[in-house]
């Protein structure tokens, strides 16, 4: 797995162009998350791709050629914080609830909804942590799962720098791609 972070213009069609580009390169996207940054004209994407370092370099270089992409960088070899979020609905009757509550505490998850026959849990952390929680919940009956996919950020002063809030992402992109 390789993780590529991209800053892109926050406008319709960009997500489709990025996903199509990765598909054309014949790589499977494990997860792709996108959200706005502090600049409403720029969005940040975290793309987790099934490939090796060389394949991730191809993805990164190809993304950089798209006009809508302002910056793309493979952060897989760098110190980074990578997190997923999951909502998990698990069967929970009166007999199983006390044991479930102990498991939930161990994984630092929290209950966000309670009904007579189930609980909805919220958990964030590494993919391994979420997979581990799912494994211990399966015997109780996992009814439904919703996962966000990974978001990632390099640690410490190791920064990816998108254009500043006062810069126009379109002009920045055109200027860097046209020359």
CA separation, residue 34 to residues 14, 40, 107 (Å): 10, 13, 26
**CATH top class, domain 81-147:** alpha beta
Query: When comparing pLDDT for 167 and 83, which is higher?
Result: 83
Global pTM value: 0.76
- Asked, colleague to colleague, whether 2-78 and 81-147 share their fold, the answer is yes
Percent of the chain with pLDDT over 90: 54
The confidence band for 162, taking pLDDT boundaries of 50, 70 and 90, is low
Quick one: average pLDDT of 161-168? 57
Quote the tokens at residue 35: 């959200």
- Give start and end residues of each alpha helix (H) in the chain: 14-24, 53-65, 97-106, 127-137, 169-178
Domain boundaries, the chain: 2-78, 81-147
- pLDDT tens track for 103-141: 999 999 999 999 999 999 999 999 999 999 999 999 999
Q: Tens digits of per-residue pLDDT, 43-63?
A: 999 999 988 888 889 898 899
For the chain, what is the mean pLDDT?
87
Closest CA to 35 of 152, 133, 147: 152
Residue 161 has pLDDT above 90, yes or no: no
The CATH homologous superfamily for domain 2-78 is ACT domain (3.30.70.260)
């Amino acid at each position: 797995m390789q993780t590529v972070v991209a800053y892109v213009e926050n406008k319709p069609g960009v997500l489709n162009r990025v996903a199509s580009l990765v598909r054309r390169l014949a790589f499977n996207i494990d997860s792709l998350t996108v959200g706005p940054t502090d600049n409403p004209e720029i969005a940040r994407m975290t793309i987790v791709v099934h490939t090796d370092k060389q394949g991730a370099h191809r993805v990164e270089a190809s993304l950089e050629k798209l006009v809508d992409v302002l910056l793309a960088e493979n952060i897989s070899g760098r110190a980074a914080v990578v997190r997923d979020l999951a909502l998990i609905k698990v069967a929970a009757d009166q007999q199983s609830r006390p044991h479930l509550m102990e498991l939930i505490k161990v994984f630092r998850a929290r209950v966000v909804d309670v009904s007579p026959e189930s609980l909805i849990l919220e958990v964030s952390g590494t993919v391994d942590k979420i997979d581990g929680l799912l494994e211990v919940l399966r015997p109780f009956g996992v009814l439904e799962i919703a996962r966000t996919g990974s978001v990632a950020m390099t640690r410490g002063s190791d920064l990816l720098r998108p254009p500043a809030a006062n810069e126009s992402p379109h002009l920045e992109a055109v200027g860097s791609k046209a020359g």
